[in-house]
Structure 1
Amino acid sequence: MPKLAIDRDFLREFAALEKPVQERVEEVFAKFDHATHAGLHLEKITHARDRRFRTIRIDKSYRGVVLAPESGDIYTLLKVLPHDDAYAWAQRRTASVNSATGRIEIRDSEAIDSVRPHLERMAATQPPEESAALFSDVSDADLRRLGVDPQTLEFARVLTDPVQLETAKAFLPPTQWQVLYGLASGMSPEEVWEELGAAITEEEIDPEDLDAAVRRSPDRVVLVDGPRELMAVFARPFDLWRVYLHPMQREAVEARHSGPARVTGGPGTGKTVVALHRARALAERGEGPVLVTTFTSTLADSLSAGLKVLAESPEVLEAVTVEHVDKLAHRVFREVHGQPRLLQGPAERELWSAAAERSGAEFSPAFLAEEWRQVVLAQRIESADAYLAAKRTGRGRRLGAVQKARVWQTVCDFQRELRERGLWTHESVCAEAARILAERDDKPYRHVVVDEAQDLGPEKWRLLRAAVPEVPDDIFIAGDTHQRIYASRVSLREVGVDVAGRSRRLRINYRTTAEILAWSLELLHGESIDDMDGGLETLAGCRSEVSGFPPQLKGHANRSAELRALADTVREWLGSDVLPGEIGIAARSNRLAEEAADALVGAGVPARMLRGGRAEEEAVSVGTMHRMKGLEFRCLAVVGADADQVPAPKAVTAESEDPVAHAHDLQRERCLLFVACTRARELLSVTWQGKPSPLLPTAG
């Protein structure tokens, strides 16, 4: 029985087709199995380079291009274009099977053949020092071993400049281009081979077996099983990256490790996708309960919804618990002590002020609270001698011995008050829960999967370490310290989580266009950001394969003018077949977010404040930058990116009080803006009133 596969690139294009054309595509391909079985509708293409390409009629103006196997039953839908464009596209291209990966490849053969002579003539007229071949030090044997086919190999031999290779990206097979790009950037053939990783197949490859090649290509095509699944794919084409894995992602999901392991990567590289697939894979092994956790209830709700999409059986869902770390801590705490009485913010400041007055410590409540959290609790310090000897990395204000003694006296006084009043903080509840689990031989979980790991503090890591036995595949971590939006800083090794030699980096962004990603990366240019393991994190090599429009940046005279312009922008997006639920509005403060929501509603645009972990389909979602974490939108507007709002004055420690804390706070504000901007998939608008934020890379 014929099966239909859909090229992923087409799914992005499908979302941009006019609604009547989309509906006809759905109608035609819902009946596709009957059409191909009867031998109808698929037409050969005159003068085609590849005789396996066919067209199928969508309506009087549009044709679909289908790759039809000469033997086998998988038909791959590649494009839907206006009639003449469809034939022109198909006549230029050929399909082949990569000899290293065994996956399907489509290339613009006509472009390759027409550009190569031009490059040869250019090289012949250049001085010898400028015409050196780009790959002169790479043998044909190495290129073939890496899956470079004869046509691409001949083309590669005439390249003399990396710019020529960049240009060729538009028509070379993507995997082969990535191989050449790696070699041109200085990687050895062995390093490129390792980078391909899970893409390399050990199967014997038949270059004529398109069916097998398509089945090996989940990164490029989506196989659909019947009309119902086809309709689901067409209904939410942008959600596919959440379900289908790129080879590097699949390797991270399926790997077995002797201990904790980690996956890192920039925004949109699919870390959460990998974490969810990893949880499912661990549950399917049947070795014991799996905990999936993160740092907020909103994100935990999103993870729970994602797992329900991926789970293929009730047994998987039953084996996995999804809850944020504080909920786990309070649950463990209640089992022994009952419900804790929590100390709230204003009352905590009063306790610190009173303790400091009694001890004579001339420090602010904010400084003392952070010293307690980041040094005393983080390092589990229980004596004056231990505090005097403690490392205070990241605490900018240097303390002498007398000052430390006063601080320690104040901390002891504060902790005594907590005990006498029976009060707890979230951090002390977490620390107590970690102690309880550490003393238990029967751990509650066999595996822990952590998402957004960069925002967990030391006490939370110790709790998670105590929640599982130290065995193979005990802890799996997904995170990116460039997206740290809270004050948590931690060394994994110091909290008993050693990922040395078991860490992978994802580089391909599946969410954001190249233009939005490049601009957003400028927000963090020059920032030194730790990797939670004693080194520095990097976004080098992070890239998007999708082109689009650059961000729109504009200042306004006042807030009213900015919000009127916001309403105009959103109406323009809605007029371009963007659904309300595909639009997000982000602001630094809750007050400004509410003003933006009111302005949209007043302009006749349906808008709702974000309250849970998911956007609503029938309304534009408006929320703070923190609320945007874990979400994504086709179109996103950041409002209030002015000097008075970003960075938020109350979120930044005065440089005179603590220069290191001041620098960390500014970096965190940059990361927060970076997170907000990279929620946009296709269109990003950034606006401000008066003077633009000093954190913006350009004010346009």
Structure 2
Amino acid sequence: MATLGIHKDFLMEFARLEKPVQKRVHEVFEKFREHRHAGLHLEKLENQRDPRIRTIRITKFMRGVVLAPETGDSFLLLKVMPHDDAIAWALKHRATVNSATYGIELRDDVALEQATASVPRIAPATGSEGMFAHVSDKDLTRLGIDGDLLPLVRHLSDEKHLDALHKILPEQQYDVLAGLAAGLDPEEVWRESIAAQAEEALRSSHAESGDQLTAAMARSQGRIALLSGPDELMDILSRPFDAWRVFLHPSQRRVAYRPSYKGPARVTGGPGTGKTVVALHRAAHLARQLPADTPAGAILLTTFTRDLAADLRRCLELLVPEEELRARIRVANVDAIANELVREDRGTPLSIVTDQKAIAARWSGIAQRLGLDQTGTFLDQEWRQVILAQDIRSPEAYLKASRAGRGTALSPLRRAQVWRAVEAFTKELRQAGEWTFLQVCAEAARLLEPRLERPFRHVLVDEAQDLHPAQWRMLRALVAPSPDDLFLAGDTHQRIYGNRVSLRTLGVSVTGRSHRLRINYRTTREILSWSTGLLNGEQVDDMDGGVESLAGYRSVFRGPFPETHGATGKAEEIAALASQVAQWVEGGVEPEEIGVAVRFVRLGREIAQALELLGVPAVVLGGGPAGFGAGVRIGTMHRMKGLEFRYMAIADVSEGTVPMPAALTAPELDPQQYQEDMLGELSLLFVACTRAREALRVSWHGKPSPFLVRSTS
């Protein structure tokens, strides 16, 4: 039976093909289903660098490129390109085995020879050192850099020279050099990019026999996916933009497929580094380790919102095609789990208050009735960030409680006044038969505390940075302390709901089991650089008593710089934005691959109307799965969380909108909370910008947001 491997470049090029050509690719490789690959007519070329690289006719104008050894039954699908380009690529390239990872590399021999021959012309300026002067030849060789490339590496003077070699260097070797260029030391690069594959190669070398190509492909899982059969290939080709989740960089794989963690584990990293992908693979790995008689739903994969949970469920279907195995993993958002537990205990449905304006009005009414000088906003924040956060159940406990992070000091008398307001607020809710989401989570945690049997064997949490301490206490109580009990994925740079936590104080210790991802797989370097510029000078906590860092955070993709556009008025901004989106569509971008983020839904509806007038379909995202309906996706910045698009436009990033005044605590009332609110608004813009894969456009009318000065200064 043929072993099929698919290179990620094949997949990305396939995704950009016209539909009739995609259909023909399906038909050609359908022959693998019946094991008739001998009839595929894999053609050899004359004077090629690697005789194992063959081409195959797709259409009159398109060819595929396949690595097919002389012996054995393994095939690696490499490229789909126009006829002449495919021939030229096949003639110049050679497949080799990396000396550190023992995985397959693709080398552009002709270009590398030309680059090496030109070393004297790109030598560093007199008196300057090469960018890798601090790394020894021994370390470079240990990291898999070929000896014949060392002279070229030694003469690279800056990142521009390295970037120029991106497309011709073997991917693994470029990855190593990019990590070193980003400031990682050789040992960090070894752990991130090499160690897991090298260890796997050592373990598997004793068992290998026969087809060496299959073994080398298996060791290249960051760039090559081994398919279980032709059905899986067809499924991947039917959803090419989703299928990148099949590919795991070594730094991701060592986290996702570690045999076991002794306790809670965590993966962090900036946007696009694949934290969600790691969590999905970890869930699949844990499901496969469970006994055959394990009941359904033994593993919980959870996140902050229903929309994100729906996206996780869709991705899990792609990653785990076996229905019986997938049934072991329940996907639901945190509040839904809490609601279910409390509803089962009470025997009746719960009435949840979700209108924040109504909640604020109730607090304000109580403050006025009790004659307090605190505002309703202050009381609501004190209740959520101190009382609920610390699970305080008595006035005596509140008097002794730490209020770290709250900028306004409270005397014992004022604390007593606040407690009276809290009692009045909760009494009103009880009398109305109403709950807030956080109350439900707190109650669910209390119900779970005395139980010996917990609902789940393993709990995995995505977007962990947005959860409140009450939600964390429930999650901790859902699973008994044990190996692999909790697995967390998140990035505090993307915290947009202001929930600060200390995992350690909540019984979730990840010391020694925390891993950071640094390679962005979604966003071009230009968009990434512009977006991270928004966060210049900001200190962000890591949820565990330290400071989170984007050091070493980098992208492997290049593209155009983000565009910014100012307009005198809203109508002018909408017209220009709609015109740009229409041009993207005319240029071949599918409407569903375009996202438009706004601060307010009303503006989103106006943009949708403008697009419809230009003949461009548009969907304003609301309830239900984000992918429902055909057309450009338009949604609030909050709604865009967890989504991604090839082309992204952010509208009305104007003064008075971003940051939104209503989202800010008055600085004179609580200066510390004001700073936290500003950081939340800044993170929201950062999240929206990093939804883009290839192109980003940011616009405003009137004066631009003061945040935009950060990325341009």
Q: Is 2:66–2:77's contact at 8 Å kept on the other side of the alignment?
A: yes
Q: Is 1:35–1:41's contact at 8 Å kept on the other side of the alignment?
A: no
Partner Cα separation in structure 2 for residue 625 and residue 495 of structure 1? 30
Residue 221 (str. 1) matches residue 231 (str. 2): no
Residue 239 (str. 1) matches residue 242 (str. 2): yes
Residue 438 (str. 1) matches residue 449 (str. 2): yes
Deviations 1:284-322 (A, max 9, x none): 222661111111111122222222222343332332222
Residue 260 (str. 1) matches residue 272 (str. 2): no
Pair 1:87–1:490, CA change in 2 (3 A): same
Q: Which stretch of structure 1 is more off in the superposition, 295-304 or 355-364? A: 355-364
Deviations 1:137-195 (A, max 9, x none): 6244x444332333234543555666544443332212223334445666554433222
Residue 645 (str. 1) matches residue 649 (str. 2): no
For structure 1, the 5+ residue unaligned runs are none
- Offset at residue 474 of structure 1 (A): 0.5
Is the partner of 2:330 in helix, strand or coil?
A: strand
Instruction: Decide which of 613, 617, 620 is 1:606's aligned counterpart.
Output: 617
Q: Is 2:223–2:247's contact at 8 Å kept on the other side of the alignment?
A: no
- Offset at residue 225 of structure 1 (A): 5.9
Question: Which residue number in structure 2 is paired with residue 694 of structure 1?
Answer: 706
Pair 1:149–1:379, CA change in 2 (3 A): same
- Offset at residue 431 of structure 1 (A): 0.9
Question: Which residue number in structure 1 is paired with residue 286 of structure 2?
Answer: 282
- Offset at residue 630 of structure 1 (A): 1.7
Is the partner of 1:686 in helix, strand or coil?
A: strand
Deviations 1:429-448 (A, max 9, x none): 21111111011111111111
Question: Which residue number in structure 2 is paired with residue 325 of structure 1?
Answer: 334
Residue 301 (str. 1) matches residue 310 (str. 2): yes
Instruction: Decide which of 504, 526, 550 is 2:515's aligned counterpart.
Output: 504
Deviations 1:433-480 (A, max 9, x none): 111101111111111111111111000000111111111111111111
- Offset at residue 353 of structure 1 (A): 3.4
Residue 150 (str. 1) matches residue 150 (str. 2): no
Deviations 1:560-587 (A, max 9, x none): 2222223222222222232222222211
The one-letter amino acid of 2:499's match is S
Q: Is 2:564–2:697's contact at 8 Å kept on the other side of the alignment?
A: yes
User: Structure 2 matches for 1:589-628, cutoff 5 A?
Assistant: 589-611=600-622, 612-616=624-628, 618-628=630-640
Partner Cα separation in structure 2 for residue 335 and residue 212 of structure 1? 51
Pair 1:179–1:421, CA change in 2 (3 A): closer
User: Structure 2 matches for 1:418-433, cutoff 5 A?
Assistant: 418-419=429-430, 423-433=434-444
Deviations 1:409-432 (A, max 9, x none): 333443454456654322222111
Pair 1:357–1:72, CA change in 2 (3 A): same
Question: Which residue number in structure 2 is paired with residue 49 of structure 1?
Answer: 49
Residue 193 (str. 1) matches residue 181 (str. 2): no
Question: Which residue number in structure 1 is paired with residue 78 of structure 2?
Answer: 78
Pair 1:347–1:668, CA change in 2 (3 A): closer
Partner Cα separation in structure 1 for residue 399 and residue 136 of structure 2? 58
Question: Which residue number in structure 2 is paired with residue 130 of structure 1?
Answer: 128
Q: Which stretch of structure 1 is more off in the superposition, 48-57 or 537-546? A: 48-57
For structure 2, the 5+ residue unaligned runs are none
The one-letter amino acid of 1:130's match is S
Q: Which stretch of structure 1 is more off in the superposition, 360-369 or 145-154? A: 145-154
The one-letter amino acid of 2:315's match is G
Partner Cα separation in structure 2 for residue 23 and residue 332 of structure 1? 48
Partner Cα separation in structure 1 for residue 132 and residue 691 of structure 2? 37
Q: Is 1:555–1:688's contact at 8 Å kept on the other side of the alignment?
A: yes
Q: Is 1:581–1:616's contact at 8 Å kept on the other side of the alignment?
A: no
Residue 586 (str. 1) matches residue 597 (str. 2): yes
- Offset at residue 41 of structure 1 (A): 3.5
Residue 113 (str. 1) matches residue 124 (str. 2): no
Is the partner of 1:449 in helix, strand or coil?
A: strand
Question: Which residue number in structure 1 is paired with residue 689 of structure 2?
Answer: 677
Residue 531 (str. 1) matches residue 542 (str. 2): yes
Partner Cα separation in structure 2 for residue 511 and residue 623 of structure 1? 20
Identity among equivalent positions (%) equals 51
Q: Is 1:2–1:36's contact at 8 Å kept on the other side of the alignment?
A: no
Partner Cα separation in structure 2 for residue 399 and residue 602 of structure 1? 56
The one-letter amino acid of 2:128's match is E
Q: Taking structure 2 as the reference length, what is the TM-score of the superposition?
A: 0.90
Pair 1:487–1:592, CA change in 2 (3 A): same
The one-letter amino acid of 2:188's match is E
Pair 1:457–1:225, CA change in 2 (3 A): closer
Instruction: Decide which of 667, 672, 689 is 1:660's aligned counterpart.
Output: 672
Question: Which residue number in structure 1 is paired with residue 647 of structure 2?
Answer: 635
Q: Is 1:263–1:477's contact at 8 Å kept on the other side of the alignment?
A: yes
Partner Cα separation in structure 2 for residue 113 and residue 593 of structure 1? 53
Partner Cα separation in structure 2 for residue 415 and residue 38 of structure 1? 73
Q: Is 2:191–2:251's contact at 8 Å kept on the other side of the alignment?
A: no
Question: Which residue number in structure 2 is paired with residue 339 of structure 1?
Answer: 349
Partner Cα separation in structure 1 for residue 601 and residue 131 of structure 2? 57
Is the partner of 2:236 in helix, strand or coil?
A: helix
Partner Cα separation in structure 2 for residue 126 and residue 565 of structure 1? 45
- Offset at residue 350 of structure 1 (A): 4.7
Instruction: Decide which of 393, 397, 401 is 2:408's aligned counterpart.
Output: 397
- Offset at residue 370 of structure 1 (A): 0.6
Instruction: Decide which of 464, 467, 470 is 2:475's aligned counterpart.
Output: 464
Instruction: Decide which of 363, 383, 398 is 1:387's aligned counterpart.
Output: 398
- Aligned Cα root-mean-square deviation (Å): 2.9
Residue 310 (str. 1) matches residue 289 (str. 2): no
Partner Cα separation in structure 1 for residue 573 and residue 362 of structure 2? 42
Is the partner of 1:130 in helix, strand or coil?
A: coil
- Offset at residue 501 of structure 1 (A): 0.8
Pair 1:207–1:676, CA change in 2 (3 A): farther
Question: Which residue number in structure 1 is paired with residue 532 of structure 2?
Answer: 521
Partner Cα separation in structure 2 for residue 252 and residue 673 of structure 1? 29
Pair 1:617–1:330, CA change in 2 (3 A): closer
Is the partner of 1:238 in helix, strand or coil?
A: coil
Q: Which stretch of structure 1 is more off in the superposition, 245-254 or 525-534? A: 245-254
Partner Cα separation in structure 1 for residue 689 and residue 31 of structure 2? 41
Equivalent pairs counted in the alignment come to 697
Q: Is 1:36–1:42's contact at 8 Å kept on the other side of the alignment?
A: no
Q: Is 1:481–1:537's contact at 8 Å kept on the other side of the alignment?
A: yes
Pair 1:672–1:216, CA change in 2 (3 A): same
Question: Which residue number in structure 2 is paired with residue 168 of structure 1?
Answer: 165
Partner Cα separation in structure 2 for residue 395 and residue 169 of structure 1? 48
Pair 1:362–1:596, CA change in 2 (3 A): same
Question: Which residue number in structure 2 is paired with residue 480 of structure 1?
Answer: 491
Pair 1:291–1:231, CA change in 2 (3 A): closer
Q: Taking structure 1 as the reference length, what is the TM-score of the superposition?
A: 0.92
- Offset at residue 363 of structure 1 (A): 0.5
- Offset at residue 495 of structure 1 (A): 1.2
Partner Cα separation in structure 1 for residue 122 and residue 380 of structure 2? 67
Q: Is 1:92–1:109's contact at 8 Å kept on the other side of the alignment?
A: yes
The one-letter amino acid of 1:310's match is L
The one-letter amino acid of 2:165's match is A
The one-letter amino acid of 2:342's match is F
